[in-house]
Amino acid sequence: MNELNFVVDSAKEAFEKALTPADLENAKALFLGKSGRITELMKGMAALPVDEKKSRGAAINLAKQAIEAALNSRRQALADAELQIQLQAEALDVTLPGRQRGQGGLHPVSITLERIEAIFGSMGFEVAQGPEIETDWFNFTALNTPEDHPARSMHDTFYVEGGSVSAPNLLRTHTSPMQIRHAVQHVKQHRAAAEAGQPSVGLFSGSMPEIRVIAPGRTYRVDSDATHSPMFHQCEGLWIGENVSFKDLKFVFTDFCRTFFESDDLVLRFRPSFFPFTEPSAEIDIQFQTGPLAGRWLEVAGSGQVHPNVIRNMGLDPEKYIGFAFGMGPDRLTMLRYGVNDLRLFFDGDIRFLSQFQ
Ligand code: PHE
């Protein structure tokens, strides 16, 4: 092997051994640098006679080109390898599940409340909200349930600060206090408008616009056992006018239930009952004709004709004004509509349960 071939082969070998670009540059200096082998060979030509110089020069040049070609291809190979490593390090695993944006939704009882509001809204009922901390007066006394009334024992509740010693404030045991609160407000507005000589705006003509309202919200009782919850929902309904009868209650509530459950053949039963604030009073039961609950009577509300004492506490003359009230359980309605068998599931906050309603 001649000397030049040997130099080219050693350069190729040195380049192959270089594992990083820096190693490669060092190896290059050994052959192509200022005092590298090729440069030395060029210098050595000075001593040669002219005719030899030409052929020697051409041969050294060929060797130099071969070395440069080897250098470039090794450079490329190292760059490719580096890119490969980088690509692997930054690789995205497209088989991983994507990050999902959690989607919120309404609680099933909220869905029911919206549904109740929409249906009664279509029948001309307003929606009113009231406080969950009530006074003894609104929760009991104004509703014809004086301090010593036995009906109070069924409504034991949580007593909170405020009020008087004999009549402390409490967490409301039902939404019925809203009957009084809303009616008093309604009457006050009407009287103020009349005094100012303005016609009061309302649903019907007559000396005063009718009161037609529902009042949904949270209520509290300590009667919790394994299947109850100390907090539950109610929705009050009240319709007071000059000529509102029990017949209207039957019509309105039947229409509501059939619309709510989307069942035209749903049957209602008004079972005689007692509430201090209504007379006569009735428990309302419903019966499905088809489906898993068909044939069973299911209690959904208490109701009755508003007691004259309550009408009086609204600031109205019971000889002139008459009407009905009802109080239903949206939690119960939600259970019946979706076939949920345990009330407590609504309040456990278990996302696996709640997400089924979205
Ligand atoms: N407030 C009663 C209850 O909680 C229900 C009811 C409301 C009854 C209105 C009659 C009229 O049991």
Q: Report the b/e string of 149-162 with b at 16+ CB within 10 A.
A: eeebeebebeeeee
Q: What is the fold, at CATH topology level, of the domain defined by 108-357?
A: BirA Bifunctional Protein; domain 2 (3.30.930)
Ligand 1-lining residues (CB < 6 angstroms): 174, 176, 275, 278, 302-304, 325-327
Question: What's the gap in Å between 35 CA and the centre of ligand 1?
Answer: 107
The residue whose CB lies within 8 Å of the most ligand 1 atoms, and thus the one to mutate among 174, 233, 279, is: 174
- The tokens describing 237, both together, are 């309904």
Segment 266-271 mean pLDDT: 98
Atom in ligand 1 nearest the alpha carbon of residue 301 = 5
pLDDT at position 251, please? Answer: 97
pLDDT at position 205, please? Answer: 46
Measure Cα distances from 239 to 91, 120, 138, 325 in Å.
Answer: 68, 11, 18, 7
The residue whose CB lies within 8 Å of the most ligand 1 atoms, and thus the one to mutate among 140, 153, 155, 176, is: 176
pLDDT at position 223, please? Answer: 67
Instruction: Indicate the range of 30-44, 267-281, 307-321 predicted with least confidence.
Output: 30-44
Q: What is the mean pLDDT of the chain?
A: 92
Segment 175-199 mean pLDDT: 90
Segment 166-190 mean pLDDT: 94
Atom in ligand 1 nearest the alpha carbon of residue 303 = 10
Question: What's the gap in Å between 325 CA and the centre of ligand 1?
Answer: 8
